A = this chain, B = another copy of it.
Amino acid sequence: MNSETFRKYGYLAVDWVADYLRDVEKYPVLSTSLPGDIRNRLPQNPPEAGESMDRILRDFEEILLPGITHWNHPRFFAYFPANHSGPSILAELLSAGLGVNAMLWQTSPAATELEEAVMDWLRQALQLPEEFRGVIQDTASTSTLCALLCARERCTRFRTNTEGPGGWTGEKPLRIYASRESHSSVEKGVKIAGFGSRNLVTIAVDEAYAMNPMELERCIHRDLEKGFVPCCVVGTVGTTSSTAIDPLKSVGEIARRHNLWFHVDAALAGSAALLPEIRPILDGVESADSLVFNPHKWLFTNFDCSAFFTRHPDILMGTFSILPEYLKTDMDRVVTNYRDWGIQLGRRFRALKLWFVLRYYGLQGLRTRLRDHLAMAQEFSNWVQKSPLFELMAPVPLNTVCFRFNPFRSRGASVPESRLEAWNKELLDKVNASGRIYLTHTKLSERYCMRVSIGQVQTRREHVTEAWQLLQGEASALVYP
């Protein structure tokens, strides 16, 4: 494709995205496709001859678009916000145009040095310890896996890396601690790194779904008595279900006392710590060994962009370093080669979009948007609390409201959990099928509930209001059919 053809279709693609950003509300948030709908419209065999870009773009709209769930719809309240923004999309375009691989400093010094710079900007913006060094990973799953591997290697003096299970010989298993509400990626990482999921000790939570540090202490003592080797604790700031905030100070003190690697998973909530009034959620991070938060979740930066920080870049590099002849460069002693800071060798130029976003909005602009989201979540939470049809299921410290339909609660009636679950599931399916909003569910203390997660760059009060009205309307229809 020559330069002029690229320009022509590039304009068309930009127009498409610009129109999409403007008109996204016309689409149903959750795709109404049924399994196979898209696949059945695609040829079974690859094309032998080339096709025109006009036809490809037409099929993009006609075939694929109906199968898209619109993560950037202002009425997308499911899972977590999947932020993109204009400046971030522009940076992704330029990054794709350059097509550099940021595996070594030499393979694009600007990619490495910009990554060092913007990661330090984020460190400052979140008031993380000065010793923290940052690297962009793809996802929090990967970042947390990196932390677990560092913990494993520090604990076994890098002998697991070389000897495998033999590195642990003569000792009982290493143990990992995380709250019952911690993200599934902790268990996944525990399995991948070879700890074994039965060595993940899930710590009980308090009534706000935050880790109970006394329980942590108790579990560690019990393990020590049994001869296990406590290795790592993951503290969660902003759990996936309800954005509960583990008490980092207490957890950190326990971690220090028992010489555990202390990893903080602030995947969603880290962004909110840009706000001085919210920053206390990170108090205690001074004693952390590593932290992850995802600018692609709530900092208006396209997926994927996971910010991983550690005060031990030496251990991180010691865990991942490989140096075959074909990757050696003259600069290896004086520069950062991010290939040794994670699992993958090849790396996209992801610092660019973070730079675009931080500069375009500035910290002030980011804070304004974050505050708006927090205020909307508080308002939604107030509506729920005042409603006779609904019940708030967890505190709302940040942008996520967990609630359920429980219409007879105010009359003191006790409805079996299974029936409440069925009602709520029915309600959730109804509002999602409307195409107007998209919510997802979770369970808290075994009780089924709906979640509203507010954080899209385009979401305004009117969108949250509409969600609430829709929920009320459908709920009323269930009560008075």
Contact = CB atoms under 8 A, between A and B. Distances in A.
A42 interface: yes
Interface in A115-153: 116-117, 120-122, 124-125, 138-142, 145, 149, 152
B96 A325 contact: no
Q: How many copies does the complex hold?
A: 2
A308 interface: no
A110 B71 CA distance: 13
A192 B130 CA distance: 29
A292 to B, nearest CB: 13
Given A53-B360, A195-B164, A326-B440, A5 B86 contact: yes
Given A67-B109, A194-B194, 4 more contacts: A35-B105, A35-B331, A78-B107, A165-B194
A65 to B, nearest CB: 7
Contact of A96 (B89, B240, B360): B89
A166 B173 contact: yes
Contact of A94 (B17, B70, B145): B17
Given A141-B345, A324-B184, A71 B101 contact: yes
Interface centre among A111, A330, A346, A360 (most CB of B within 10 A): A346
Contacts of A90: 6, 9-10, 13, 53
Contacts of A3: 18-19, 21-22
A188 interface: yes
A114 interface: yes
A249 interface: no
A107 B79 contact: yes
Contact of A165 (B16, B83, B165, B355): B165
Nearest to A330: B429
Given A90-B13, A97-B16, A139-B345, A359 B50 contact: yes
Contacts of A161: 191, 196-197
Contacts of A360: 1, 50-51, 53, 56
A197 B63 CA distance: 47
A245 B304 CA distance: 34
Nearest to A12: B90
Interface stretch (A203-211, A361-369, A407-415, A462-470): A361-369
Given A15-B7, A68-B110, A69-B109, A51 B362 contact: yes
A98 interface: yes
